[in-house]
Structure 1
Amino acid sequence: IYDFLGDTEQDVNLSVYEFTERLYLDTAHSYYSDYDVEGKYNPVPLAQQTITPANGTTYEIMIEDQDFIDKFLAVQSDTNIFYSDSIFKDYFNGFYITAEPLSSSGTMARVQLSSVQSRLTMKYANDSTDVDSTAERDFAFAHFTIDQYSSQKINMFEHDYTGTELGDIIDDEQASTPYVYVQGMSGVNTRFSFANLQDWIDQNPLIINSATLVFDVVPEEESRILYDDLPYRLMIGSILDDDDYEPIYDYYVLLSNDPTQLASRFGGYKKAESKGLFSDTTYTYRFNMGLHFQNMLDGNKLENDFILQIDDGMINPKYSKLWSNLPANERRIRLEIVYLKL
């Protein structure tokens, strides 16, 4: 366990099943968090164990299911199965692991499957006269790692927003709400466009010096999200006509020239702002998008359809509550442009 969020004292029940369909690690196969596992695993668990997630702790789950053990004993004479990665994966497709909390308070734990400690270990002894005649068997171990170079992994998430304020507005384009939300691990994203942007562009020949898109964070006393628990960085991209995702042009340019591969000047980081000693500190997320909007002016990029997400949402469970563009809001989504009119 690498990290967790939620009730740190809550027990979690882990169930391990044998997966029955081959997953491929190549460019021809793509898997997403809404992957349907129905009918693709043996519903009888190989092992179950209750743990209390603790950061930096490794848990061993013993599989004593005889049918599973016999699966490998039955082919012990065929060494190709164990020495060929591809043949082995055809014979044994992997595991399906589920986690169920034992209370309603909720928790998420991050498992480092790429760690060398995350593996299938087989403990065995050679069936020979020499071994059988000794007082104690000399056991050997075979390790099958789950690293990023040879093993395909899929994270699957389910979010139930029933009874929440988000549940009343999600996927409703006509909803009028003072808030917008972003959440990692296949949670909610915010999709938006600028209604009159093209009209403004058509009426004003100009050169953009800078364009900053600003999202203000709802104060923690109203959002019930501590500032320290906010995601460190958000990311924004364009939605194309075929619903494909494309990074903002500024991000792409900065990333291609950044050896750190962060494109930090693009922004999106949580930033504290204060108007003075006697004013409360507020937080914003700011994106520098001058190149993108200049390309819209020049007719090179016509997409006016954006999506706001957690930067590392595949592994980050955090979420944020932001002010929307509702006119009644004291603070709202805004695009700050500095330009030269031609």
Structure 2
Amino acid sequence: DTIQYYSKAEYNEISIGDIIGEISYTPNIEDSIITIKLSDEFAESFSSLADISTTDEFKDFFHGTYVTSESDGGDGAILKYKLDTLSTINIYYHDAEGEYTFKVGTAISGNVRYNTFEHDYSNSSINLDEETNIQDSVAYIQGMSGLKVIVNFPFIEKLKDLGDIAINRAELIVNTAPSIYTYEDDFPAIDAITISGINADGETFLLPEYYSSAGYISVPYLDGSYKYDIAGYIRDLIEGDVDNCGLLLSINSSYSNMKRSVITTGNNSNRTRLVISYTKL
């Protein structure tokens, strides 16, 4: 059987056993390794390994570990750890013939690992649990499976009034708010954001630009903005080939990326905008 876990999985969706280890420490970027002593009872559970001969049998015996943190009531921190070949669970044991170390690696092919996040927006100035027409001067794109932004083009069909035209370029310019409001000097903006179309069922789809000869690459952050040429998508909108339900702006690798960007909206003096260049036929 296959079980799928997502980054928004609830705590009670995961089967949690007894605590096998704890540590209290102050993060230091100079530290290369964090060592957590696990309980003797946990080590003793591996005494039956002599009866296990295959990888599948071991996975059936040992289902993995759940690592989480506890809030200390302060400002907190966001940390990211690299699960490479050096990240292991080491079981130290001995018998009459000598001392040994049994290692359980996290980077073994076929091993499953994922992050799960829970965001609390109860203190937000806007009620995010209800749909609202209120638009602030800024919007937020958040990592760790957090907030996303929908950009709508409510009057794009009016381009039909121009008659037959050829769309040469349709550049979506997504600007970020000034660093005085975003603290971008200390917390850099997202390196690149992903753009997807939204259909009438609320599902996302790839834009025509994805299939272009140049391929579809999330455009990087440069000089305070993200810029995308979405001419193919705008052509499809005008011709009615796709639903006009907006575009979804999200972060690359949201399940592991902790960055965020504060972008401007149509109510900002440096607004996010769509610039269309066309030729009348």
Alignment TM-score > 0.5, same fold: yes
SS at match of 1:77: helix
Distance 1:76 1:163, change over 3 A: closer
- Partner of 2:228, secondary structure, is strand
How many positions carry a matched residue from both structures? 280
Q: How does 1:1-342 map to 2 (within 5 A)?
A: 29-38=3-12, 40-42=14-16, 44-55=18-29, 57-66=32-41, 68-73=42-47, 75-80=48-53, 84-113=54-83, 115-126=84-95, 128=96, 131=97, 138-147=98-107, 149-165=109-125, 167-169=126-128, 172-201=131-160, 204-226=163-185, 229-253=188-212, 257=214, 263-264=216-217, 267=219, 269-272=220-223, 283-326=224-267, 329-342=268-281
When residues 211 and 40 of structure 1 are mapped into structure 2, their CA distance, relative to the original with a 3 A threshold, is closer
| Structure 2: gaps spanning 5 or more residues | none
**Does the CA-based 8 Å contact 1:211-1:335 persist in structure 2?**
yes
Deviations along 1:113-169, one digit per CA (max 9) or x if unpaired, are 2x111122222223x4xx3xxxxxx3112222112732111211122223233x445
Highest relative contact order (Cα 8 Å, sep 6+), 1 or 2? 2
Distance 1:62 1:222 in 2: 42
Instruction: Letter of the 2:33 partner, please give it.
Output: T
* TM-score, with structure 2 as normaliser: 0.88
Change (3 A) 1:170 1:220: farther
Deviation at 1:249, TM superposition (A): 2.2
In 1, distance between residues paired with 2:26 and 2:212? Answer: 44
Which sits farther off after the overlay, 224-233 or 182-191? 224-233
**Matched residue SS, 1:87:** helix
Cα shift at 1:189: 0.7
User: Following the alignment from structure 1 to structure 2, what is the Cα–Cα distance between the partners of residues 211 and 151?
Assistant: 43
User: Aligned in 2, Cα 1:188/1:39: closer, same or farther, shift over 3 Å?
Assistant: closer
- Determine if contact 2:200/2:243 at 8 Å carries over to the other structure: no
The structure richer in strand per residue is 1
| 8 A Cα contact 1:220 1:227, kept in partner | no
SS of match in other structure, 1:70: helix
Amino acid at match of 2:181: E
Deviation (angstroms), 1:90: 1.4
User: Equivalent pairs: percent with the same residue?
Assistant: 22
Q: Which amino acid aligns with 1:102?
A: D
Compared with structure 1, are the counterparts of its residues 300 and 42 closer, same or farther at alpha carbon in structure 2 (3 Å cutoff)? closer
Q: 1:300 to 1:39 in 2, by over 3 A?
A: closer
Whether the aligned pair in 2 keeps the contact of 1:182 and 1:308 (CA below 8 Å) is yes
CA RMSD, aligned part only?
2.5
Where in structure 1 are there 5+ consecutive unaligned residues? 1-23, 132-137, 273-282
Secondary structure of the structure 2 residue equivalent to 1:251:
helix
Alpha-carbon distance in structure 1 between the residues aligned to 2:160 and 2:107: 49
Could you give the per-residue CA deviations for residues 3-38 of structure 1, whole angstroms, max 9, x where no partner exists?
A: xxxxxxxxxxxxxxxxxxxxx8xxx54321111231
Q: Kindly tell me: are residues 95 and 289 of structure 1, through their superposed partners in 2, closer, same or farther at Cα, counting changes over 3 Å?
A: same
* Structure 1 Cα separation of the partners of residues 226 and 247 of structure 2: 15
1:180 match: secondary structure: strand
Q: Which residue identity lines up with residue 44 of structure 2 in the other structure?
A: D
String of CA shifts for 1:250-294, please: whole Å, max 9, x gaps: 13435xx55xxxx45x62x2221xxxxxxxxxx222111112222
Give the deviation of 1:227 after TM superposition.
7.6
Structure 2 CA distance for aligned equivalents of residues 245 and 303 of structure 1: 12
